[in-house]
Amino acid sequence: MDFTSRYCRRRMENAITCPSSAIGVNCFQLGFCMPTIPAIDFPISLHPDWMGNLVQSRPEVSLGNMVIPGSHDAGSYSIDSFKLFSAVGRNQNVSVLDQLHRGARFLDIKLGESGASVNVFHGCLQGAKLDRIVEEIKLFCEDFPGEFVVIELSAEAGRTFSSAKKLTALESVKEMLGEKMYAEDDVSKILSTPIKDLVMGGKQVCVLLGPRFMLDLELDGKSITDEYLCETYSCFRSDKWMENKFNNTRDIDDMLELNLEEVKEESKKGKLLNNQFVLTPGVGGAPDIAKLLFGMNSLQPVYLANNLYKPAKRHASPPLHTFFQENGTENWNLVSLDFIDLCPAMMGFLVGLNFSEFEIMLATVQYGNPNFFRPSMSVTQKVQSHVVRNRVLFLNVGKDFGSNFGTLTLAYRVNDKFYSIVIHFDGSSVIVLNEYNHLQAGSKEIVIDDDAEEGSINPGGGGTLMTWCRSEEGDDIEFDFDSPF
């Protein structure tokens, strides 16, 4: 057995999650043994250029009409994992640069004063200097000039953060990002301007300042005006530009319900809307303290986040997946998550909601061992029902098919072209397909000549042999397969 494989590493991480979160064992809550492998494997975890690809497909798309994955407490990854209580303070495993590569385009960064510098803070735990975080953002923007990032700088609660140090931080951000910063104090304009127009104009970053950052922000004893912030630092007050409610709950159902209520009430009201799908650790009394001692509950954000990202039982769907399968058509805008490296399928789904329509033409499934003959069965209607917003196929195979393993064969249309793909799955598989990732997933174009009336398709890989023919009207293509049923 390969003990370095992802399977073995995940099993070992699962085995130590309970004791490492138990205060009775890991009494100082060190973060060196926090989970780093997603509970559900998903092969495509990087989305570094998704906005640049999106504008080729939908050139008029703007921030106000997009679903944008976000990173909650993005800078907390930099808290040293061997610091006391670091596992309680970290909300991300990977660097800001890596978070951007994984698809995040909204970054929540909390800051405080540390001697002569300005650093990331979460509670009393100190992370990297702000300059290091901004340097990562700058590097990403240089590598991917078609991307646009929204940043909120906040002052961490309970930390000393003088007005002078806040201004020093803004000067540093302005110096490092410079002309890449959006500089017009008009939220309606940034919401409606096509992304391609923003980035073609050299603008890739919008910096917002949270309410605590704005508190007591003065220059020469006078409060700094919005106009001065815009003209001098190209920054804006987040309370004027964004709705951003912190739900402060550790209950999954409550958090999901509160976010659903918020998107129904606050979307499309002339501001950015940030929905925080984040659970907050807490202690409610003596029973909770007993659970914390033995690892049955946890003060670690990663413990709670994983409860969102993994199924509660075999052949079930993770709570967050189920929620978005049922509510994906709402007007989501910014969607902030903890530990985005632990939910790659969710990141792929959120990115995919922005792309062109994804139409399933034919879907077949073959259950069982691919080394033996297996009859194909049509599951077209079932698969079509799992295409969210007509843009993303989102299947949790264990729940949706109730099978341990098998093979799914698809024929589908994107932008007036037809494709086929063969996907081998097991009971824990999650399938996320959309215009952005389907070629990376191994799909093949189905070439149909203009003068051809019918044909056959061998998708390979043990998939179902399919046929196609033109409809009687001749303006569409119909797909079928030989079924023994």
User: What is the pLDDT confidence band of residue 5, given thresholds at 50, 70 and 90?
Assistant: very low
Residue-wise pLDDT for 103-132, tens only, equals 999 999 999 999 999 999 999 999 999 999
Among left, alpha and beta (phi > 0; psi -120 to 50; other), residue 285 is left
Mean pLDDT of the chain: 89
Which amino acid, 140?
F
Q: What is the pLDDT of residues 448-469, one digit of tens each?
A: 988 889 999 999 888 999 999 9
Residue 418 in contact with residue 445, Cβ under 8 Å?
yes
Query: Can you give the pLDDT at residue 426?
Result: 85
pLDDT reading at 252 higher than 60: yes
Mean pLDDT of the region 370-395:
90
pLDDT at 294: 57
Q: Which among 120, 208, 107 has a CA at the least distance from the CA of 149?
A: 107
| Tokens 């990562």 found at | 136
Cβ atoms 134, 177 nearer than 8 A: yes
Single-letter amino acid, residue 391: R
Q: In whole angstroms, what is the distance from residue 198 CA to residue 202 CA?
A: 7
Nearest Cα residue to 354 out of 34, 145, 67 = 67
Give buried/exposed letters for 445-472 (b at 16+ CB in 10 A, else e): ebebeeeeeeeebebeeebbebebeeee
DSSP class per residue in 270-327: SSEEEEEE-------SHHHHHHHHHTSS-S-HHHHHHHHHS-SSTT---HHHHHHHHH
pLDDT of residue 95: 97
β-bridge partners, 126: 121
Task: Locate 156 and state its tokens.
Answer: 């961490």
- List, for residues 286-306, the tens digit of each pLDDT value: 665 565 555 566 778 898 999
Mean per-residue pLDDT, 50-57: 96
The per-residue pLDDT for 61 is: 97
- Residue found by looking up tokens 């991307």 in the block: 147
> Longest Cα pair distance anywhere in the chain, in angstroms?
83
Asked if 136 and 75 count as a contact pair (C-beta separation under 8 A), the reply is no
Length of the chain in terms of residues written: 485
pLDDT for 41 equals 67
Whether residue 258 has pLDDT greater than 90: yes
